[in-house]
Structure 1
């Protein structure tokens, strides 16, 4: 369309006349914040004005003035362009358009106009997606209504017929806009129209609905669009220009015009609206993808509203549709992900037998399973979880804490899952303190995210560093919570320490872990600030860090948190120079702490640092195994209350066996065959009657999908595996080959390292840090057995999605391994983990 613009909307050429033009000019000049009523009235008065101009121009029959785009929707902001189409059939007086347009130009109004026949309009729409989108909002203003009605009918028919080709093009336009303008909900100076989550996306959602292929979840969407439109009106009135960018210098005045407390409150409202729109877009585009994929495999179907949205629990985003556990027509492939959670149509949904009302951990379990498999949680599932799940007990059950850590440990895959939970209020239900940082802007040029998104982004960065620390769970949780003090008076690190002590206790962390999290939050800026502002060669500089962290493990965690925080802040917050300064200071502090904190060896020469004295049951089993020469085991498989009083299904396995090679891998393989995930494990030597060493294994395991195996069958398979009649490795390989390939997420590679000799005087300590997976401990055990070493003691921990294991190894004579031999064993284990 040709365009004539003039930013000075001064009203009609003759404002003294008492007519539609004068009425429109008075409305434009009137004070007020704008709003839907004003936009509707401005559109109506503009209609009257153009209708009068059309009548004065002497237009013949078969001609119509049609409003398109925002004007067609009746959403004229004070400085909006007028998007107008002069539609005609047959020949047209060439002077008619000028008689119509010149009074508009003379008034100073921005005009985007075109003159076309219906056939020409249809051809332009076919070639230009933006023109077609504008015509979807076509509205009759003046002249022959039949010609407008015919065009609208044709345009909608064409849109629905070509939706399979046009919608992917529309999606690509949205992606390009997002790349150019960013995400509205995180920008300090957002473009209210073009940024992701802006008003253009609302137009796209309406176009999708017009295709009859899918519709957006409507709850909150209209209110979000209305809020952005109101802010845009106020911005136009404040600046006197047709601008869409909410600049810093205009925010206070816009907030005042809208009656909002301050600019920060205004931005939070804008961000909340943008997130609602962006999430609705994500949900809707996934629905479109499913429909188009279904069409490509089954052939074209008649054009109809395939999935009408009928409310919070109906239609494509409802409980009876995909993703809610309902049975769809035909065969639907559903792959188990976790207890109560399956994959369907590329999303995590609830299993048929899931009972959200009786399972308060289910939201976190579903979220963790989705993120670890590179999926998101379906809209209907999140809605159902929000509606039916009870709040978590306080303190949290152990599983809830582990599932949160697993979710955070998924890295980038955590983001869309987190957004889905937050859209339905599940995050603030889990973490009530989150509300204070949610959508909170950071008026700092270094920061590129709001406070809440920065916290999640820090956890994403930390997920890549979990192999560097002995407590990846504490690293991830500290990353998520380190800036919780922002928005409170005073230093946010000091306020955050107080908040996090309470949050960590409610999450069920033990007192020592609570203290570590509090230290990390209080001092999350200490390393970088000290390294860049103090003399690194001054002993007082190192002493300040040592005093702050007190222990080597905390220093290790603080170093990783420092880097994750900086990387999540923005490019200006981290550099090689800063990294080198931080590393130098951390190394000096580590050396200072290492001198004061020698490694404690849980071996025979230092039993106090190892496990507790054997229980009566453990001693009984060890004596039985020593006397009979065979395995003795005790198996408890039942629902037992955890430390919070919440019942959780689990298995406690005690096994005593006369020392033999390959024991660890064999038992771990049997548990993997029965789909039992190892949560913790210990292995130690006893000699209860002086007849030779007995290996005592103490395991805590959990059923992968909630169904515990029959105790008798598990006992039988353990005995068969130990006497060699059950080939565990072959059975696992056969099962893995028959199972469908599981999609997953990129994870940091496993780390297999030999600890310094000071770690133990009587054994070589092999440390393994890796992403948890079925049969992982079995593979480690087989590699150690194949290397011909003895496992004297083992300490196995699963922390969220990561394992942190330590194996105390000796040679056949019970001596520590040589450096060369230890390196060969580490290489063998590393190769087994791939």
Structure 2
């Protein structure tokens, strides 16, 4: 490691001045009595140094190397001052023996001189032999000074023999020593430690070290989410983070004894341009980490939602049309992470080549090598495809598309040297190449490939070829959306969606996605489906409706890609309406025939329905882990089946009486020997109940209702795990009265549940039968008996006025504390055309505990009757939809009436009102 050079060092810390001040204090009294004052002087120097470095970071917010070197320099000087004070004043030993020698080594990140403001101080104390009493005293005194400064110290104290023995056994110790930097003390001891480390520990263990380091890296990636595009990345340990760059340096140093990253070029592991990319990425990531530490005042490496806007501001990112400052900052972050991924790939592959060339074949097959074959002019050997020479792509830039298409078709990897060439020559793709018919045919073959288009498109993206060939895709490269719903950047989400489509088509996801697996083979055009998946989010970040803008992109791009006018129109329609099916399934009442009529009027054909359903499924699934669940799958399947029936039969669909009779027959079959209950309760339930509820729910409801009627129970509450929807079905049977809905919702919230769907029924004799689908805040069902009991008791207490709902609900913590980072302005929409009988009210608001209870209470106060409620969550945003009438069963026809309801709902959804209620509860 080269010496740390810091501009205007004495402004950070003046070691001579500090040493003189300490000596003066000791001279005035004694070392022991002066100790408090010495600590004070050291603490003051540390605080002043940090303040100066923070000021410099503010002036140069992207100077990561300068900031981390500055903090390492500050710590170096303080440790040197401490050492000299201890050996001069505290434990002076003028005639030390050969064993009374001590070297201080900076290890780990501190050894590299990459120290963020609140990083651990990792140091090693090395002695020639077992610790002598004097060495132990000096080490202990220094550690106490470091602890007195409130520093987190990682330290070890070992003799030379112990150091070498333990380094052989432990990968962590070996890595720390690899970056060991002489700090202070006896330099001869340090040089002996270094000599023995390279001779006794490193020699002969290179291959083992590389294998262990890569295994360690893979385990770390898996722990951190295994994608460099997660929207709350760990700057240090996440995929594409600092640790990945450090791993390259460690391996290069272990194999080739490089002293710094620049020498990785000299040993052939990186090119000069790759080294520059290495330094740029490292500088930016270090700067980001320094800002994280400075803002939080602690060693924080997670780039969480609440910190992202602050760091974007600190690093001088500004808003632009369609993109906020934080989205621009995070896009730049992910571009750097992408560069790190590319560097890691070419580095490790190059290293593999170097190691392979040194190995000597043994035995009968010595000297045998598989003969490379030729595929369309490319060399293929060992499962890798390579360009035959350095000018290959420059002679014909269409080959930049061709090589990836061949790799997908023949299940090949692209050789690292060829990936380097592709990355270098990607800029050759200009207008003429984009319009080239051969290039576009090759791209479409790759996009719709039958092997693994996801992986190859990701390689193509990381080489920079994808964004050059499809510039609109390049615009969403590394782009994030600042919300808690989308887990990946837009490009990564799109590539994952294409991968899911390919896996569904191959039949490997039949269990998870039975509907898509069944219909994907019946669509009119694979090209349309894959192209629509590629383009569905292509216009995000431009300002305006990305569906409308994306359809415009599709109309221009599809003809270039070779799609016919009919195919182009179909792709544009799918992109324009790619959110239609999910919005209808999750936010509308599927038992209301008007919902199906309106949906079908937009879809218009069975082919469009199949294409849209498949696109919708892969789009939702590719949003991130935990977003897809069986409830969403069930709703989409239900909408598909109802729409398919109407499209097939048209207006000759089954009549209301026919549908009710058919459902009763299915329920009778499900009830078996209890089928008599249907006839016994025939005078209680009207046709709307039989049409609204699924047959299996009715088969659960009727026995409960019959038993309550026989026992003359005034209140009957049932809760059971409902596997078909991946939720808990809660049924409440009792006397109908105003406010029943909001009280039940409040009880469910008190028990820790979230209502995801609700249907409210009143029988002909004035009894209420209300069905709620409930999950916990993480989208899981309640299924343990203790959880189910808690639900029943909480609802009973809420209905019996045994608890004060408002104070209890106000005190409940938010399950997603980071949601406070986001601003969601409450909005209310009315639709009198979506249903023949009901006014549909949609409320958009920030998701938080008991939101449904507050909205339901507001509707009770507005004298509205709720027939059904449908609740959807998009990260921090909730969309609650209600089918309502007034007390006389009519729609909300007048503007004044709607205005009054809107005011009540906006107040209920307002965070300011909620905050005031919480304060009132706390004051009480």
Task: Give the CA deviation at 1:403.
Answer: 2.5
Contact in 1 for aligned 2:453/2:502 (Cα 8 Å) = no
- Residue of structure 2 in register with 1:526 after alignment: 580
Is 1:199 matched with 2:242?
yes
Contact 2:429-2:469 within 8 A present in 1 as well: no
Per the alignment, residue 180 of structure 2 pairs with 138
Tell me whether 1:127 sits opposite 2:169 in the alignment.
yes
CA–CA separation in structure 1 for the residues paired with 2:379 and 2:613: 38
| Mapped pair 1:344 → 2:398 | no
Distance in structure 1 (CA, Å) of the matches to 2:50 and 2:560: 55
More helix by share: 2
1:544 — aligned with what?
Answer: 598
Query: 1:47 pairs with 53, 76, 79, which one?
Result: 76
1:486 equivalenced with 2:523 (yes/no) = no
Aligned-residue Cα RMSD (Å) equals 3.1
Higher RCO (CA 8 Å, separation ≥ 6 residues): 1
1:212 is matched with which residue? 255
Query: Could you list the per-position Cα deviations for residues 310-362 of structure 1 after superposition, in whole angstroms to 9, with x for gaps in the alignment?
Result: xxxxxxxxxxxxxxxxxxx996632344x233423432212469842343331
Per the alignment, residue 639 of structure 2 pairs with: 585
| Structure 2 residue 465 is the aligned partner of structure 1 residue 426 | yes
Task: Give 3-state SS (helix, strand or coil) of 1:218's partner.
Answer: helix
Aligned to 2:329: 266
Q: Deviation per CA, 1:577-627: give whole Å up to 9, x if none.
A: 333332333344344445689xxxxxxxxxxxxxxxxxxxxxxxxxxxxxx
Deviation at 1:293, TM superposition (A): 5.2
Q: Using structure 1 for the length normalisation, give the TM-score.
A: 0.62
Secondary structure of the 1:186 match is coil
Aligned to 2:621: 567
Partner of 2:313: 256
Q: Per the alignment, in what secondary structure is the counterpart of residue 192 of structure 1?
A: coil
Residue pair 2:537, 2:546 contacting (<8 A) in 1 also: yes
Q: State the partner residue of 2:496.
A: 457
Deviations 1:703-739 (A, max 9, x none): xxxxxxxxxxxxxxxxxxxxxxxxxxxxxxxxxxxxx
Counterparts of 1:506 and 1:383, CA distance in 2: 28
Of 543-552 and 43-52, the range deviating more from structure 2:
543-552
Partner of 2:474: 435
CA distance in 1, matches of 2:433, 2:348: 38
Partners of 2:40 and 2:613 lie apart in 1 by 73
Equivalent-residue separation in structure 2 for 1:595 and 1:395 (angstroms): 45
Contact 1:361 1:392 in 2 (8 A): no
Q: 1:412 to 1:127 in 2, by over 3 A?
A: farther
In structure 2, do the counterparts of structure 1 residues 486 and 28 end up closer, same or farther at CA, with 3 Å as the change threshold? Answer: same
Is it true that 1:147 corresponds to 2:183 in the alignment? Answer: no
- 1:234 shift after superposition: 0.7
Stretches of structure 2 that go unaligned for 5 or more consecutive residues are 1-17, 23-34, 88-92, 257-267, 319-324, 506-519, 652-924
* Distance in structure 1 (CA, Å) of the matches to 2:471 and 2:237: 33
Secondary structure of the residue aligned to 2:555 is helix
Q: Is the 8 A contact 1:79 1:240 kept in 2?
A: yes
How far apart, in 1, do the equivalents of 2:446 and 2:207 lie? Answer: 35
Choose 564-573 or 287-296, whichever is displaced more: 287-296
Q: Is the 8 A contact 2:210 2:251 kept in 1?
A: yes
Could you tell me which of 177, 184, 187 is aligned with 2:230?
187
Query: What is the alpha-carbon distance in structure 2 between the residues aligned to residue 331 and residue 413 of structure 1?
Result: 28
Match of 2:105 in 1: 66
CA contact (8 A) 1:16 1:22 kept: no
Secondary structure of the 2:571 match is helix
Who is 2:405 aligned against? 368
Structure 1 position 180, deviation (Å): 1.0
In 2: Cα distance, 1:384 partner to 1:377 partner: 11
Please give the alpha-carbon distance, in whole angstroms, between the structure 2 residues aligned to 1:471 and 1:547: 22
Of residues 513, 517, 526, the one that matches 1:472 is: 526
CA distance in 2, matches of 1:115, 1:386: 47
State the partner residue of 1:29.
51
CA contact (8 A) 1:66 1:84 kept: yes
Change (3 A) 1:19 1:445: closer
**Greater Cα offset, 170-179 or 340-349:** 340-349
String of CA shifts for 1:363-396, please: whole Å, max 9, x gaps. Answer: 2221122123333322321332354554363774
What TM-score, normalized by structure 2, do the two folds share?
A: 0.56
Question: Residues of 1 paired with 2:344 and 2:526: CA distance?
Answer: 34
SS of aligned partner of 2:182: strand
How big is the shift at 1:125? Answer: 1.3
CA distance in 1, matches of 2:70, 2:436: 56
Residue 205 of structure 2: aligned partner: 162
Match of 2:828 in 1: none
Distance change (3 Å), C-alpha of 1:215 and 1:14: farther
Alpha-carbon contact 2:121-2:152 (below 8 Å) kept: yes
Q: Distance in 1 between matches of 2:66 and 2:502?
A: 49
Separation of aligned partners in 2, 1:439 and 1:15: 52
Q: Is the 8 A contact 2:350 2:416 kept in 1?
A: no
Deviation at 1:204, TM superposition (A): 0.8
| Of 500, 503, 507, the match for 2:561 | 507
Any conservation in 2 of the 1:485–1:495 contact (CA below 8 Å)?
A: yes
Change (3 A) 1:352 1:269: closer
Residue aligned with 1:135, SS: helix
**What SS does the aligned partner of 2:622 have?**
helix
Going from structure 1 to structure 2, the CA distance change for 1:29 and 1:516 (only over 3 Å counts) comes to same
Contact 1:205 1:215 in 2 (8 A): no
Residues 1:334 and 2:372 aligned together: yes
**Partner residue of 1:383?**
420
| Equivalent position to 1:108, from 146, 150, 154 | 150
For residues 504 and 623 of structure 2, the distance between their equivalents in structure 1, rounded to whole angstroms, comes to: 16
Q: Is the 8 A contact 2:346 2:417 kept in 1?
A: no
Aligned to 1:719: none
* Structure 1 position 84 matched with structure 2 position 123: yes
Deviation, 1:500, is: 2.0
2:297 corresponds, among 240, 258, 271, to 240
Deviation at 1:524, TM superposition (A): 1.1
Measured against aligned partners, the alpha-carbon deviations of 1:617-640 in whole angstroms (never above 9, x if no partner) come to: xxxxxxxxxxxxxxxxxxxxxxxx
Residues 17 and 393 of structure 1, relative CA distance in 2, 3 Å threshold: same
Structure 2 Cα separation of the partners of residues 46 and 582 of structure 1 = 60
CA distance 1:287–1:384, shift in 2 (3 Å): closer
Report the counterpart of residue 350 of structure 2 in structure 1: 287
Look up the SS of the partner of 2:168 in the other structure: helix
| Cα distance in 1, alignment partners of residues 177 and 146 from structure 2 | 21
Q: Counterpart of 2:104 in 1: which secondary structure?
A: strand
What is the DSSP-based 3-state SS (H/G/I as helix, E as strand, rest coil) of the residue aligned with 2:541?
coil
Partner in structure 2 of residue 656 of structure 1: none
1:414–1:460 contact (8 Å) kept in structure 2: yes
Residues 167-226 of structure 1, C-alpha deviations (whole Å, 9 max, x = no match) = 111111111111111246322322111111111112211011113377354241111111
Alpha-carbon separation, structure 1, partners of 2:40 and 2:585 = 73
Residues 718-729 of structure 1 aligned to structure 2 (within 5 Å)? none
Alignment of 1:706-717 (within 5 A): none
Q: Is the 1:348–1:378 Cα contact (8 Å) retained in structure 2?
A: yes
Work out the CA distance in 1 between the residues paired with 2:391 and 2:82: 65
C-alpha distance 534-257 of structure 1, shift in aligned 2 (>3 A): closer
TM-aligned CA distance change 1:243 to 1:418, over 3 Å = same
Counterpart for residue 678 of structure 1: none
Which runs of 5 or more structure 1 residues have no equivalent in the other structure?
1-10, 301-328, 598-834
